[in-house]
Amino acid sequence: MDIGLPYFFIRLSGCNLACSYCDTTYANSKGDHVSVNALVEAWRASGVKHCLITGGEPLLQQNTVLLIKSLLSSGASVSIETNGSLDVSDIPEAVVKILDRKTPGSSMDAHWLDENLAYLSRKDQVKFVITSREDYLFSLNEIERCNLLSRAHVIFSPAMPVMEPTVLADWILKDKLEVRFQLQLHKILWGDRPGV
C-alpha cells in the first residue's frame, strides 16, 4: 500500500488469530452480508482508483478471490492485507500482497506460512508490527532468514501506543536498515475508530 494515496477500504469480517495489540477487534464479529457486485459498485462509486481488501483476515471469506478478480476486471488497482497464516497462492499476480509477519509481541508469531514467500514479488510487502526491542530483533532475524529484502518491500510499523514511533525510527536509522517506516496515517488524521 502506498501511504498518502487515496484508497477505498473493504474490511472483511472474521479472523483466525487473536493478536494482543489488535486494533480492529470489531472486525472479528459478524459483519453485514454484502455481495461481490455491491462491493465492486461501491468501489466504482467512490471514484478512487486504489482498493485495499483487509480484515480481520480477508482470506477466510470464500469469495475473496472472486472479489479481487471482479475489482481487477473493473479497472481497480487492488492490494490485500493478510496475516500470512493462510495460503496466498490463489491471489492474482496483479494484486499487491501485504503479508503481516506477526512478531512475538502479538502472541501469534507461530502462525506463519513460509510457503507464502514463494508467491511474493518486488511489488509486494512484508510488514512487521513492532511492540518492543524483542520484536525488532525478531524482525531483523526474519529479514535475514527469509532473505526478505530481495523478495519484497519490508515495512516496520510501531504498535502504538505500546511502541513509541521515534524510538523505532531511531533504531532503524542507527542500524541503517533498508526498510520502510510506516505510521497508520488514517488514524492520525481521523482517530482510532471503526469505519476509518
CA distances from 21 to 18, 121, 129, 163 (A): 9, 28, 9, 11
How far, CA to CA in Å, does 3 sit from each of 15, 16, 18, 50, 66?
24, 27, 26, 11, 26
The pLDDT score that the predictor gives to residue 30 is: 74
Beta-bridge partner residues of 10: 53
DSSP secondary-structure letter at 125? E
| pTM score, whole prediction | 0.92
Task: Tell me the per-residue pLDDT of 9-49, one tens digit each, with 9 for 90 and over.
Answer: 999 988 878 888 877 766 667 778 899 999 999 999 999 99
- Distance, CA of 174 to CA of 153 (rounded, Å): 19
Distance of CA 113 to the CA centre of its chain: 15
Mean pLDDT of 117-123: 96
b/e code 134-154 from CB counts within 10 Å (16+ = b): ebbebbbebbeebebeebbbb
At 122-171, the pLDDT tens digits run 999 999 999 999 999 999 999 999 999 999 999 999 998 899 999 999 99
Asked whether the CA dihedral 168, 169, 171, 177 is positive or negative, the reply is positive
pLDDT score at 22:
76
Identify the architecture of domain 7-190 in CATH: Alpha-Beta Barrel (3.20)
Q: Considering all CA atoms of the chain, what is the largest pairwise distance in Å, rounded to the nearest integer?
A: 48
Q: Taking CA 56 as the corner, what is the angle to CA 185 and CA 77, rounded to the nearest 5 degrees?
A: 60
* C-alpha span between 71 and 93 (Å, rounded): 14
Domain layout of the chain by residue ranges? 7-190
For 42-99, what is each residue's pLDDT tens digit?
999 999 999 999 988 999 999 999 999 999 999 999 999 999 999 999 999 999 999 9
Report CA 27 to chain centroid distance, whole Å. 14
Q: By C-alpha distance, which of 24, 23, 17 is closest to 111?
A: 17
* Res 178: pLDDT: 95
Q: Calculate the CA dihedral of residues 106, 109, 115, 116 and round it to 10 degrees.
A: 10
Whether the bond between 105 and the residue before it is cis, its omega within 30 degrees of 0, is no
